[in-house]
Amino acid sequence: MADLATCLPLTRASVVEAHNLIRPFIHRTPVLTNRTIDGIASTPRTPEELNGTPFEGATPSNPKLRLWFKCENLQRIGAFKARGAFHAVERLKREPGWEAGGGFTKGVVTHSSGNHAQALALAASTAGMPAHIVMPKISAPPKVAATKGYGANVVFSGSTAAEREAVAAEVIASTGGRMVPPYDHPDIILGQGTAGLELQEQVAEAKTTTPNSKSKSGPTALLYSPTTAPSSSSTNSGLDAIMTPCGGGGLLSGTVLSAQGTGIRVFGAEPSLDGADDCARGLAQGKRIEAVKSLTIADGLRTPVGKHNWAVLTGETPESNGQGVHGVYAVGEDQIRAALRLLLERLKIVVEPSSAVPLAVVLYNEEFRRRVEAEAGPEGWDLGIVLSGGNVSLEGFAKLFPEARERT
């Protein structure tokens, strides 16, 4: 990976610089809204739905939310990971001595369950260098096929982070390739943060243009259908908050940086199965959790938060001034499935389970919903949600919803 000494500082200005660097290689993905989903999110759950939860017997919360969905499922390779991979490769190409040292021949190496694998394969191919990708044996076949389709050499490993890293070290030793980690590096973090930057710009723009108009700034038109008038109590011209999924923390920490100095709150969303909510638990205990072993359906969120990502999320970087993530919330598998179904049936888009986790938090995590009600008041929040990716097969959907198959 690029020498840490050459990396840009972890600031919003660096996210802007990263965006300028990768703009020719990525899509400016659309932002969508939906009145029906806003209505569901802004309706109190029934007392029966709170049975068996810590809020059993309490009055259901009543938040008011206007949701803006950033469709990174329509990004190149079908996920936000293209942003970080292209930024890492472009920064690596500019490292002194990279070309003279045979960098374009040795190429790059990484380990990934799928989306970063595809992203790095594409970025390396575009730059004219080989990519060696370590993938867990349980990776989804479509993701493996897509990674190979971009010309990468795929090497299989076990499913845990330690197993992936061990095989990656062997590949680096044999090829001389440079490691490009999936999330734990400043170049990756800054690249992923460009999604949050675009989301802020697009929502602010949408609120000041005629309904159903299209943005002219970028290769992909901004698509939206405004729900209600902007809140007069907003601290900025667009969003009050953004929520992203959290696995290794690249997208979430990058989004935190993209919101520095804007007044926009940033939240993370995780699955709770088998301890996959390591970020939320780590924040609660004040220490990063270094290992996760979960088979949650949100397969992109099975990894622990990285060291650099953790420093950003906790506001411990030199440039953060103590500003980090505002909170991380978790949901169960059935809630993720319900949110995934809602996105398919109401927003009419195909996303992978990891993408549905933030919406599941918004709909079902009563702690988060109570926080919105308390902090936003009757005016509510404009909340941006990053739909992180859409790499799921038809067969994968069938396994997620077996009851639908039984009815046919």
> How much is the pLDDT for 1?
66
The answer to whether 399 is a known catalytic residue is no
The mean pLDDT of 131-136, rounded to a whole number, is: 94
| pLDDT, average across residues 369-392 | 96
Confidence of residue 136 (pLDDT cuts 50, 70, 90): confident
- Strands (DSSP E) along 272-402, which ranges? 327-331, 381-387
Annotated catalytic residue: which of 81, 157, 294, 388?
81
- Share the mean pLDDT of the chain: 90
Q: Is the pLDDT of residue 4 over 90?
A: no
The closest of 336, 346, 331 to 392, measured between CA atoms, is 336
List, in order of start, the domains of the chain with CATH numbers. Answer: 12-79+186-407 (3.40.50.1100), 81-179 (3.40.50.1100)
Q: Assess whether pLDDT exceeds 70 at residue 211.
A: no
* Ordered strands of the 241-245 beta sheet: 31-32, 65-71, 381-387, 241-245, 265-271, 327-331
pLDDT at residue 14 above 50? Answer: yes
Q: What is the mean pLDDT of residues 192-202?
A: 97
In eight-state DSSP terms, residue 306 is: P
Span 4-13, average pLDDT = 91
* 220-229 pLDDT tens trace: 334 443 333 3
Q: Do the Cβ atoms of 113 and 392 come closer than 8 Å? A: no
pLDDT for the residue numbered 98 = 85
pLDDT tens digits along 52-76: 888 899 999 999 999 999 999 999 9
Provide the β-strand partners of residue 241: 265, 383
Sign of CA dihedral 257, 262, 264, 265: positive
Q: Choose, from 113, 157, 234, 253, the residue flagged as catalytic.
A: 113
Most confident of 111-125, 215-229, 331-345: 331-345
Mention every residue, 6+ apart, whose C-beta is less than 8 A from residue 274.
Answer: 292, 293, 294, 295, 296
pLDDT in tens, 367-377: 999 999 999 99
Residue 178 pairs with which residues in a beta bridge? 108
Does the active-site annotation cover 81? Answer: yes
- Residue 100 pLDDT grade (very low, low, confident, very high; cuts 50, 70, 90): confident
Count of beta carbons in the 10 Å neighbourhood of residue 278: 25
Under 8 Å between Cβ of 247 and 279: no
Written in H, E and C, the secondary structure of 21-66 is HHHHHCCCCCEECCHHHHHHHCCCCCHHHHCCCCCCCCCCCCCCEE
Measuring CA to CA, which residue among 76, 110, 75 is closest to residue 92? Answer: 110
Quickly state the pLDDT bin for 237 (edges 50, 70, 90): low
Per-residue confidence (pLDDT) for residue 140, from 0 to 100:
76
Report helix, strand and coil shares of the chain as percent, to nearest 5: 45, 15, 40
Record the tokens describing residue 297, joined without a space.
Answer: 């359906």
Predicted pLDDT at 227: 35
**What would the two tokens of residue 2 be?**
């690029």
Q: How does residue 326 score in pLDDT terms, banded at 50, 70 and 90?
A: very high
For 241, residues 6+ apart whose C-beta sits below 8 A from its C-beta are: 264, 265, 266, 267, 326, 381, 382, 383, 384
148 vs 215, residue with greater confidence: 148
Beta strand 241-245 with 381-387 is: parallel
Confidence check: pLDDT of 382 > 90: yes
Taking residues 157-174, what's their average pLDDT? 90
Check: CB of residue 177 under 8 Å from CB of residue 130. Answer: yes
Query: Which residues, 6 or more positions from 9, have their beta carbon under 8 angstroms from its beta carbon?
Result: 318, 319
| Residue 406 pLDDT class (50, 70, 90 cuts) | low
Left, alpha or beta for 29 (phi > 0: left; psi -120 to 50: alpha)? Answer: beta
Name the band, by pLDDT with cuts 50, 70 and 90, for residue 233: very low
Q: What mean pLDDT do residues 378-402 have?
A: 92
Give the largest Cα separation in the chain, rounded.
68
pLDDT at 53: 87
Residue 187: pLDDT above 50? yes
